Amino acid sequence: MRHLAFLLPLALLAGCATAGDARVLVAGTEATLSVGETVALPDASRLTYVGVTSDSRCRPDVQCIQAGHAVVAFRHVAGADSHDVAVDTRQGTADLGAWRLTLASLDFSAPPKATVRIDAAR
């Protein structure tokens, strides 16, 4: 019984250490995010995929005159500062201070999943 009393606080602490923690997006790698999902950047800032604010893209199974484009919204939080970032699929990138955010792809699921990459800003 004493062993169980010792293990319970350790189990609770382990749960606290991981609960709500975002996975870290390493520079030069990609992560696929669902709406509302957050990743931590290497400098401990956080990037949240807010959603798609505009989408006129032509679905792959449809023949269209134009390919269209989408505008994808993110929120970047660094310390006490936060700002909204919009990335248009035509341009594909946005600056986040020390980082450059690249929208690698946006699928056609409902709601769409966004695959992003960060690199050091130049």
Predicted confidence (pLDDT) at residue 104 exceeds the cutoff of 80: yes
Predicted confidence (pLDDT) at residue 122 exceeds the cutoff of 70: yes
Query: What range defines the domain where residue 101 resides?
Result: 28-120
Which tens digits make up the pLDDT trace of 26-79? 999 999 999 999 999 999 999 999 999 999 998 888 888 887 899 999 999 999
Predicted confidence (pLDDT) at residue 110 exceeds the cutoff of 60: yes
In a domain, 22, yes or no: no
In a domain, 14, yes or no: no
In a domain, 99, yes or no: yes
Residues 6+ apart with CB under 8 A from 74: 47, 48, 49, 50, 84, 85, 86, 87, 94, 101, 116
Number of domains the chain contains: 1
In a domain, 65, yes or no: yes
Interior angle at CA 106, CA 23 and CA 45, nearest 5:
30
In a domain, 112, yes or no: yes
Q: At residue 7, what is the residue type?
A: L
In a domain, 6, yes or no: no
